[in-house]
Amino acid sequence: MDIKEVTSANISTSPDWRSKRPLLWVVLALSGAANVVTSSLSVNVFISVAFGLVTLACGIALAVDHYRHR
């Protein structure tokens, strides 16, 4: 097995991130809204932080995808 076979096999089995972008946008919007609601209602701070971290992770994933595929 040479390098070309290995790379073509890796490319063909890698997930298509373009198809996951709409899901990331939906999760970003929902987690951002949930973060605002939990912060406003004085819910446990750890729940609000968890929603904030999910929002941050989705934003980072979208930014990385954007800069990789320009």
At residue 1, the pLDDT reads 53
Q: What is the pLDDT of residues 2-38, one digit of tens each?
A: 555 555 445 444 566 567 899 999 999 999 999 999 9
Distance CA 21, CA 33 (A): 18
Q: Domain of residue 33: give its range.
A: 17-68
Q: Label residue 30 exposed, middle or buried (CB < 10 Å: 0-12, 13-18, 19+).
A: middle
Q: What is the pLDDT of residues 40-49, one digit of tens each?
A: 998 899 999 9
Domain for residue 3, yes or no?
no
Domain for residue 12, yes or no?
no
Domain for residue 44, yes or no?
yes
Domain for residue 51, yes or no?
yes
* No. of helices (H) and no. of strands (E), the chain: 3, 0
Q: How many domains does the chain have?
A: 1
Domain for residue 47, yes or no?
yes
Domain for residue 1, yes or no?
no
70 — pLDDT class (breaks 50, 70, 90): confident
Distance CA 17, CA 36 (A): 28
Domain for residue 2, yes or no?
no
